[in-house]
Amino acid sequence: MTDHKAAQDRPDMNPWLFFRRWLANPREVGSVTPSSPALKRRLTQEIVRAPDEYVVELGGGTGAITRGILERGVPADRLYVIEINHEMAQHLRDIFPGIHVIEGDARRLTEILPPQVVGKVGTTLCGIPMMLLTIEEQQAIVDSAYSVMPKGRQIVLYTYALASPLPRDKLGLAGRRVGFVPANIPPASVWAYRQGKAG
């Protein structure tokens, strides 16, 4: 099967595009293969959104999680996907015509999201490989995400590690593992974080 044909059949899993981007920038992409349908389902269970709120996905990649967000019933026009890589962002626009794809850096959400979305993000799902980042980079992404959400809302992310992918004390977060997905390759855990230390 050609790459083009594979992309048509499973465009959100486009493994060749994903693998090529990983080869080009392993630190930014973090994984050699897109998230599985099982991980997509578990991660998107954590979505909380009032009718007038939005969902933001950081690091959309080829769209495996994006597809899950839409399958959870989030209207396409209430979904903003932030993707730093041009080719991935274009791919997301091609396969999900109704959603908002912003080619940009997750550290700059207040600048790149439209003003009406800032403060109205119910949940932020994060596919960026946070464990590979420096503490300063992690802090910048976490601060950016909380700055566009009402108080008390969560950043939800997945990791292949056993421990928390974010250093909770250093970042001032309360977080816990909310799920484990053995069927993903490799097996993954889902973590949810709020601002403030666990009390």
Work out how close the CB of 51 gets to ligand SAM at its nearest, in angstroms, rounded to a whole number: 25
Our CB check for ligand SAM shows the closer of 135 and 198 to be 135
Q: Judge contact between 49 and 79, C-beta under 8 A.
A: no
Q: Give the CA distances from residue 117 to residues 5, 89, 192, in Å, rounded to whole numbers and listed in that order.
A: 36, 19, 21
Our CB check for ligand SAM shows the closer of 61 and 175 to be 61
State the residue for tokens 């899950």. Answer: 68
What is the rounded distance in angstroms from the CA atom of residue 19 to the CA atom of residue 193?
Answer: 29
Work out how close the CB of 165 gets to ligand SAM at its nearest, in angstroms, rounded to a whole number: 12
Our CB check for ligand SAM shows the closer of 22 and 174 to be 22
Single-letter code of the amino acid located at 113: L
Work out how close the CB of 28 gets to ligand SAM at its nearest, in angstroms, rounded to a whole number: 4
Instruction: Give the relative orientation of helices 86-95 and 15-24 as an angle to the nearest 10 degrees.
Output: 160
Our CB check for ligand SAM shows the closer of 152 and 188 to be 188
Work out how close the CB of 39 gets to ligand SAM at its nearest, in angstroms, rounded to a whole number: 7
Residues 6+ apart with CB under 8 A from 5: none
| Beta-sheet strands, E only, within 63-153 | 79-83, 100-103, 121-126
Our CB check for ligand SAM shows the closer of 42 and 78 to be 42
Binding site for ligand SAM (CB under 6 A): 28-31, 34-35, 58-61, 64-65, 82-85, 88, 105-107, 127-129
Residues facing 193 on adjacent strands: 155, 175
Work out how close the CB of 25 gets to ligand SAM at its nearest, in angstroms, rounded to a whole number: 7
